[in-house]
Amino acid sequence: MIIDAHCHIWDKSMVSGGFKRLIDDGAKQMGLSDPSTLYDGSAERLIREMEEAGIDKTVILALDGHIAFTANLTYKDYNNYVANIVNEYPDKFIGFAGIDPRRGKEAIQELERCLELGLKGLKLWPLTGFYPDDLKFYPFYKRVQELEIPVLMHTGSGPPNTYIKYCQPIYVDKVAIDFPDMKIIMAHMGDPFTNQAISVASKNFNVYLDISAWEPVLKMVPAAFIQTLFQAKLACGIDKILFGSDWPLFTSILSLKDWVKSIRKLKVPPALKLMGLTDFTEEDKEKILGLNAAKVLGL
Ligand SMILES: [Zn+2]
C-alpha cells in the first residue's frame, strides 16, 4: 500500500490575495517561469496523478494561514472544502483540518466540528507566525491528544513571505514531551534543519518525519537526499519515516509517479557505501511508502 502523507488541495478560484502571493513567490523561489502551473490543485487532477503513481491513499491538508495573509476562503470554509472532497472520495483521501492554535477556544470548537465532518487529523502551520510550544496552546493540544488524532506540523523552510524562525524542529520537542500520546509528523524532515528534526524524532517515541518537498534535492543532488534519509533511519529507525510529496508544489520538477519510483529504486551510490552507508531494504521502502503512515493514521 502506498500512502502520500502530505498533500495540498485547492482549486483555481481559491488562489487569490495573500494566498496567491504565497504560491507565486514559492514558484519564483523554485525558479518556475510560470506560477500558474501551481494553481490547479484539484481533487480530479490529484486522483489522476495518484493513479499514475500507484498511490492508494493521500492525506490532504486544509490550511489556516489567515492570521498572516488574506484569502478568499475563511479557515472554516477551507476545512469544509477538504471535508467535502474526503466525503466524495472516501477511499482515496484522508483529510486533516487546518486550524491556527492562536484562535484559542474557537480552535477547540473548530477541531471538534471538523472531526464531525469526517476529518481525521490536524495540520499546524507555524510559518504563519507562532512557536508550536507556546503554553497558551496547551488546552488545545490537550483536546487534540484526547481525540487521538495525528498532527502534521510544518517544520523547516517555506515560501519567502513566511517566518522561518518558528519552524525550527527544536520547538516541537517540548510539545512532544508534554503530550506523549499525541502523534506528531514533522513535515519535510525539517529541511534545512534536518539535524534538529532527526534529533527530535529520535528522542521522542511520538514524533515522525515526512519526506515531502525533498523532490528537488533528490533530482539535483541525490546523494544529499540519500545521506539524510540514511541518517534518519539510523537515528530514528525506519518506522519513523513517512512518504509525502507536498503536491502540487513540485510536480513540474518531479512528477508524483517519478517520486514514488525514485523511492522504490533508491540505491546508495558507491561513494556513500565507502562512507559506511548500506542499501535500503525492500522492507524499508515498503515502510516508507505506506506501512508507517498506515500505522500513524490508524488504518
Ligand atoms: Zn505542505
Note the pLDDT tens digit of each residue in 131-140.
Answer: 999 999 999 9
pLDDT-derived band of residue 72, with 50, 70 and 90 as boundaries?
A: confident
CA of 280 to the centre of ligand 1 (A): 26
CA of 275 to the centre of ligand 1 (A): 32
Report the CATH number of the 3-297 domain: 3.20.20.140
Give the residue extent of every domain in the chain. 3-297
Q: 183-221, pLDDT tens digit by residue?
A: 999 999 999 999 999 999 999 999 999 999 999 999 999
What grid cell was written down for 182?
Answer: 499525541
CA of 270 to the centre of ligand 1 (A): 32
Backbone angles phi, psi at 100, to 5 degrees: -80, 125
Per-residue pLDDT at 71: 79
Closest CA to 96 of 183, 200, 26, 36: 183
Separation between Cα atoms, residue 191 and residue 41, nearest integer Å: 23
CA of 246 to the centre of ligand 1 (A): 5
**b/e map of 233-256 (b: 16 or more CB within 10 Å)?**
beebebebbbbbbbbbbbbebbbb
CA of 16 to the centre of ligand 1 (A): 18
CA of 138 to the centre of ligand 1 (A): 24
Per-residue pLDDT at 33: 87
- Contact between residue 3 and residue 294 where contact means Cβ atoms under 8 Å apart: yes
Mean pLDDT within 260-277: 95
Name residue 207's amino acid. Answer: V
In sequence order, what E strands does 87-199 have?
93-98, 121-124, 151-153, 184-186
What grid cell was written down for 89?
Answer: 472520495
CA of 6 to the centre of ligand 1 (A): 6
- Contact between residue 29 and residue 253 where contact means Cβ atoms under 8 Å apart: no
What's the whole-model pTM score? 0.97
CA of 154 to the centre of ligand 1 (A): 7
Q: 156-182, pLDDT tens digit by residue?
A: 999 888 999 999 999 999 999 999 999
Neighbouring C-alpha atoms within 13 Å toward the C-beta of 247: 32
In the chain, % helix, strand, coil (3-state, to 5) comes to 55, 10, 35
pLDDT-derived band of residue 73, with 50, 70 and 90 as boundaries?
A: confident
CA quadruple 110, 178, 173, 150: dihedral sign: negative
Count the Cβ atoms, other than its own, within 10 Å of residue 16.
13
Mean pLDDT within 30-57: 95
